[in-house]
Structures are given as C-alpha cells and as structure tokens.
Structure 1
C-alpha cells in the first residue's frame, strides 16, 4: 500500500503568491466583463446586430459552466501549478486570437477559448490559495484571490472600455493579453510547485459531488447569486428609467458598486474566518434586504445609490463564505467541487438574467425585478438555515451514539 501523500504545509509568506493569483483573476475578470462596454463597437465593426453580438456574453458564460468540470476531470493528473500555467497561456493566446479576428465566428471562437480557462482556473486557484495559509485564514486567502475580479470591475473594465472607444476594440483585447502574459510570468516565478500536487482519484472527486451536503451547498451558491444577477443584469434600465439617472451617472454608480464589491469581498473573508455560519446567515439576509428595498429606494436618487453600494458589499461579501462552505463539504476531494461551484454561479447568471427578463415581460414589469430577486436570495437563505439545522441534528445524533458505546476496561 502506498503511503498517503503529505498534506501541504502553509507558506510562511503567502501574500506574493496570492497577489499573483489575484492578477490572473484581474485579467480573467476584465476579459469577462469588458465585452459589455465595447459590444456596440464590435457589432458595428463586424457588421452584426447587437443581439447577435450579445451571444459573445452568453456563449462565454455557458462555456464556463459546461467545460470547467470536464477540464478538471481530464487534467486531474497534472500538477496544479502546471495546469494553471497552461490555462493562463491559453488565456493569452485566445485574447491574441480576438485581436486578429476579422469576422464574428473567429471572435466567438476566441471567447469560447477564453471561457475554458475561467472555471478551471478559479477552481484550482481557490484550493491552492486555501492551502497557502492556516485553516483560520482560508476565507481571507480566497478573498485576496477574488479581489482581482473585484478590482477588474472598478478599474479594468472602465480602462478597457476607454481603450476600446479611443483606439478600437482590438486594442482592448491586446491590453488584456499583455496583463495575462505578466500573470503567466508571475505564476512561473512565484507560485510554489508543491501545493495541490496531490491527485485525488477521479472516482473520489465524482463521488464527493454525490454527497447531499455538497449538492445542497452548490444549490445555495446558485440561489444566492441568482438573485444578484437577476437584478444586476437590468441595473442600467432600473436606474435610468425608474430613478431617472442619465447614462454617464450610471457609469459612476457602477464604479461605486465595484468599490462596494471590493470592500465586501475583504470583509466577507474576515467574517467567514471568524465564524462561517453567522457570516453566511447575516450577509445573505443583508443581501435579500438590499434587493427587496431596491424597489422602494429607486424613488430617491440618494437612497438608490446607497442601495447599489450596499448591494455590492453584500453580493461579494457572501462569495468567500459560499466558497469555503463548498470546500468544507467536499474536503476529501475539493478540486472538482470548487470548480462546480464556479459553474453553478455562471449557470445562475444565465438563469437569473432569463428570469429577470420574464418578470419584465410579465404584468409586473421592470420595477418588480428586485422584488423577485430578493425572493430568490431569500430562498437561498432558507436553505442555509435548513442546512445548518440538519448538520446540528446530525452532530447531536453522532454525539449520542458515541456516548452510548461502552468503554472497554
């Protein structure tokens, strides 16, 4: 029998490797969201309709959701550092392909190739980030990783949009490719090679996904973020048509949302390390309240802006909590489960946007979207409470069984 592999020890100085992973997340996050700002430029240049160009967004999300688990299964025997380097190299090459795209089909191919890197990167990088630190700092390490995506929304997306308008949309993808290349160099030099080199058997990885508590945790992630995406997809028309902001003001409000996202991400990581259960309940409840209240706060510009900021705080404050929740339920083989969590979030993105559209087209209309979004998140909160009660009951039963076992002399 082979000896079990040694569990990697936390790093004495994990900040630099974590910042490199965060830079990768920044590049990937910028590539995912900047497309929204340059969509009209792409449609005009490639002579397609806006709705056809929108497929570049939905195709990316579906690519992340579908391919991420498959890539994790197919690359299960690769060392994790090698896999991250290969994924980021593919990311750089796919952005270079987007720069050279002369027709829509080539650009769509480039976007799908970019999506191959997204879910797998975050699945692997999350596990590696958690292994760099002690157990009481896991959520903090994950929040440092995710902060790259948060900062991409504050700085990267506005910068990429400005570059696209000033120089052309191809230069936006060129800038992302340069950032990705810098991230590859940082990974090669600073990321330790001994972390997450253990290869859990495929049977164990898939078996963990069959555990009811893992499936329940993934469903919680999808529901909590489904509510966020259901409203955020339509945040521009909500602010413009109901709160009467102009387009320029909406851009600055979204920057404020990004600042809230960054602050919430850091705070959520700290709170999850302090106590995961209260953090999950408190932040999800705050998120539901913000969504429900948005229907009312739209009547006042000041309150609407404050609500958008708090929505950013709570929506990404819960992300480290949800990630740690899934990892704790799948601790025997966390790689595939963590990647499935990324897929669940992207599926909730697509479904949330679709449900929001259904509400708009119904007799309830645009104003009711935050109301229904809050209901979805409230359902996620209900599942969190149910999961905690179930786990508490299971522990009590186990404790009684242990006490009932006679002690041998």
Structure 2
C-alpha cells in the first residue's frame, strides 16, 4: 500500500475526531467556560460554518499549486487552530479558533480524494479513496469515544491538544511519505468555476440538498 494514502488516512482520523468529539464533551466545555450547553453548542455550528466557507474557497484558490503543498498547508492550519482552541483563554478566541479549525476540513477530503486516486494503481482508485476515509471511520469507532473519555475524566483541552498533535503527525507523514505530484495543467479559479455552467452540476447539488434536508 502506498504510504501517501496512509498519511491521508491519518488526516481523516484527525479531522473526524475534531468534528465529532465536540458533541460528547459539550457539557465539559460549558462547565469550564461557565456558559449554558446550548451556548456551547454554537461551537458545533461555527465548525460547520468553517467547513462550508473553507471547502470551496481553499480548493479554488489553491488549485494551481501542487497537491502535496496544499495538503501540507491544510494540515498546518488544522494543527495551529486546534492547538489554539485547546489553550484559548476566552470564549471569543475559542469561537474564532473553532471556526478556523473547520476551514481545512472539506478541502482536505476534496484534494485528498484526487491525490489518493492518482497514487493508486490503475483500477484501484476507488479503493485508495476508501482507505483515506477509513481514518474517519476509525475516528468514529475509537477516536471519538477515547476523546470523550479524556474530556470527561481529565480535560476537554487535553482532548483537543491531542487532536492538534494528530494534525502535526499527519503533516509529518504527508511530508515524508507523499511523493511530489504536479498540479493539474490549466487548473485555475475560472476553469473550476466552469463546472457550474453544466446542468448536471446543478442537478447533483439539488439532489444532495434535498437528500440532506430530508434527513434533518
């Protein structure tokens, strides 16, 4: 198995933990910050907002750069802002860092899926992408329960400090294991926006929006 794909799975683990662990330790965060649990739940919304803003923005503006450099940049953001979240003293800085920590989420999986497919042998592209998302599965099965346990019995700040370190480990793994991959030729903001000129693009977005809306 290509080690670069394993590095992407590490990223999936870290991102899965930072997203979902929050739900289990909201009471601990609320108690520490002396706020109500519904107020603390805004941190979930702020992360989601970061994902929504960061996914299209970062993908559009980093498309002309080599994917390895983009992934390193995204994990650096992840490390910095999850680390800041774990030590921030006040609610404003905690909220800001939580929003910023969400920015790399969608872009990482978008760029990572393309990279995983390019690293895989011919005919194994889907398998490579699924291996990357295995990190998210492991996060839900083991990482989130462990993070919740640590948050309950020690400190939620310890949990997010560990998550930040996982981001740093992913950064190191990508740097060491992932080969250099050239940026796609002609890949700029305007070429990517051309996708929205196709009817199928709007149809796909409508299906996703209706399906997701129906779920909730």
TM over 0.5: yes
In the other structure, the counterpart of 2:89 is 102
Alpha-carbon distance in structure 2 between the residues aligned to 1:136 and 1:119: 25
Q: Alpha-carbon deviation of 1:117?
A: 0.8
In the other structure, the counterpart of 2:25 is 38
Structure of greater Rg: 1
Unaligned runs of 5+ residues in structure 1 are 1-12, 231-351, 353-409
In the other structure, the counterpart of 1:143 is 130
Equivalenced residue count is 216
Whether contact under 8 Å (1:93, 1:177) holds in the other structure is yes
In the other structure, the counterpart of 1:177 is 164
Q: CA RMSD in A?
A: 1.7
Match of 1:27 among 7, 10, 14: 14
Q: Alpha-carbon deviation of 1:19?
A: 1.1
Give me the TM-score of the superposition, normalised by structure 2: 0.93
Match of 1:66 among 42, 50, 53: 53
Give me the TM-score of the superposition, normalised by structure 1: 0.51
CA offsets, 1:137-178, max 9 Å, x none?
Answer: 222111111111111000010010011111111000111011
Whether contact under 8 Å (2:9, 2:133) holds in the other structure is yes
In the other structure, the counterpart of 2:62 is 75
Task: Check if 1:190 corresponds to 2:193.
Answer: no
Q: Alpha-carbon deviation of 1:208?
A: 1.2
Q: Alpha-carbon deviation of 1:195?
A: 5.0
Whether contact under 8 Å (2:54, 2:104) holds in the other structure is no
Alpha-carbon distance in structure 2 between the residues aligned to 1:117 and 1:177: 13
**Structure number with higher relative contact order (C-alpha < 8 Å, ≥ 6 residues apart):** 2
In the other structure, the counterpart of 1:90 is 77
Q: Secondary structure at the match of 1:56?
A: helix
Residues 201-220 of structure 1 aligned to structure 2 (within 5 Å) = 201-220=188-207
Alpha-carbon distance in structure 1 between the residues aligned to 2:86 and 2:142: 21
Alpha-carbon distance in structure 2 between the residues aligned to 1:199 and 1:188: 25
Match of 2:155 among 165, 168, 175: 168
